[in-house]
Amino acid sequence: MTRSEPEPSAEPDPRRWRALAVTLTAGFMVLLDVSIVNVALPSIQRDLGATAGGVQWVVSGYALTFGLVLVFGGRLGDALGRRRMFLIALTGFVLTSALAGAASTPELLIVARLLQGMAAGLLTPQNTGLIQELFRGPERGRAFGLFGAVVGISTAVGPVLGGVILAVFGDPEGWRWVFLVNIPIGALALVLAARLLPKSTARLRGVARELDFLGALLLGLAVVGVLFPILEIEQGNLGQVWWLLPLAVVLGVAFVWWERRLVRLGRPPLLDPRLFSTVPGFASGATLGTVYFCAFTGIWLVFAVFFQQGLGFTPLESGLAVTPFAVGSAVSAIIAGRLIERWGRRLTVTGLSLVTLSLLAIAGLALLVPAAALGWAMLVPLLVGGIGSGMIISPNTTLTLERVPTAMAGVAGGALQTGQRLGTAVGTAVLATVFHTAISATGEDYPLSLTVSMVCAALLTMIALALGVAELRDRALRVRTTA
């Protein structure tokens, strides 16, 4: 138990639910920034003269640094205190949001987004840590359920809110308010957090020893080694950077070796390999989440470009076009939270099946329905996909972590979220590159390019579905074995 966590016998903080509301608001804001920017990318590209590959880094770069510092954020929260770390990270997020909103070049915007992602990654673990600190028993389960719903819903509603912001502030520089809107919300959250979050004792000695800097560097370079060649495909430069792909494999192997070495030395690794080898269901659940986030978060950039550049929609119309997915996800996530205990892994398998059918239906409609009517034709498949998505994210988090020992709970939560963020970075790069490459190859046939991208997303979702089915069978086998 860390010093920042009170004894289990302590009386519950009477302000705990108000404190949770503040931290979830901040958490919603930083997770929203994963997808809210997608609808603004065409405007950014026009205003700053950025390339398609450049604006993809605005999304992928944020998700990449977000994922790489999550475990660091958890360790720092343990050492410095959750309240103190929450306030520091939220301040950094507000300042980097201002920097992104004021960016005058694509390069400056990308740097601002990388820094903003780091601030988000430092803040997010404080949410789960504060839930563990403030809540006990059944209340803790309810609080984690709310956090899981925030994770799923925030990504789905991002394009809708982004479209509204751009409609209010207009072109050519309305995209800046996608970032600047974080400033008043973040400032209010800072004031309330300073009043409501419990204070704790800082522990500075030995903190540096608990942070796996080399592991983070190896993992980050390995992911960049995959991302950069993918983003260069559209520019026709893959022949110049192909060597990064085998280098990424070498770095990945080195990362695994280093993490295992840290475990043997008794030092905390970035991602504890024992979670994947000794905890039943963790490896399959974490991999399922990572693969699904590749598909789930990657489609929003494709939809934004398709609707705005392919069909001539305004940013608001583009955001509203995917509203059924957000609505379905929000409602389904709330209901799914009550069904996890009864349905278990069948819930995520059903959800993944619905998302797969939704993506394949959209792929077929893009070929069969005239472009002018395609937005309307996609409403029902998007609603079905949203319902399915709401049945996946929060339940998968709960099921993946349910067998994790208490002593490894914090590390396991960080590992799970790291996989989701890295999946977001890779998935956005892959699907956007597939879409833009198809546009170039088909002479700007946007419907056909959408079909190709949706089939690619469906294939990724099918991989997650196969993992879910395998885990469902394994769980049934474990039940029969222990009966």
Same-domain check for residues 223 and 316: no
Written as six digits, the tokens of 162 are 């982004």
Same domain, 285 and 260: no
Helix (H) or strand (E) holding 237: none
CATH value at residue 155: 1.20.1250.20
Indicate the residue among 267, 285, 306 that finishes a domain.
Answer: 267
Predicted confidence (pLDDT) at residue 166 exceeds the cutoff of 50: yes
Question: Which structural domain, as residue segments, surrounds residue 360?
Answer: 16-198+207-212+268-478
Instruction: Please indicate, yes or no, if residue 69 is contained in any of the structural domains.
Output: yes
Shared-domain flag, residues 257 and 272: no
Mean pLDDT of 33-50: 88
Total domains, the chain:
2
Cα–Cα distance for residue pair 437/208, rounded to 1 Å: 44
Domain shared by 318 and 179, yes or no? yes
Model confidence over 334-377: pLDDT tens digits? 788 778 878 888 999 999 999 999 999 999 999 999 988 998 99
SS3 per-residue string spanning 420-449 = HHHHHHHHHHHHHHHHHHHHHHCCCCHHHH
Q: Are residues 22 and 100 in the same domain?
A: yes
Query: Looking at the structure, do residues 163 and 258 belong to the same domain, yes or no?
Result: no
- 372 within domain boundaries: yes
Helices (H), 135-181: 137-169, 176-180
Q: Classify residue 8: in a domain, yes or no.
A: no
Q: Are 325 and 403 in the same domain?
A: yes
Of the candidates 261, 232, 259, 229, the one whose C-alpha atom is nearest the C-alpha of residue 246 is 229
* Residue where a domain stops, chosen among 232, 251, 267: 267
Residue 483 placed within a domain: no
- The verdict on 59 and 95 lying in the same domain is yes
Q: Which two tokens stand for residue 214?
A: 């080399």
Q: Is there a single domain that holds both residue 94 and residue 187?
A: yes
pLDDT at residue 450 greater than cutoff 90: yes
43 located within any domain: yes
The answer on 435 and 388 residing in a single domain is: yes
| Same domain assignment for residues 309 and 351 | yes
Q: Say whether both 252 and 284 belong to one domain.
A: no
pLDDT tens digits for range 395-449 = 888 888 777 776 666 677 777 888 888 888 889 889 999 999 999 999 899 999 9
Looking at the domain assignment, is residue 2 inside a domain?
A: no
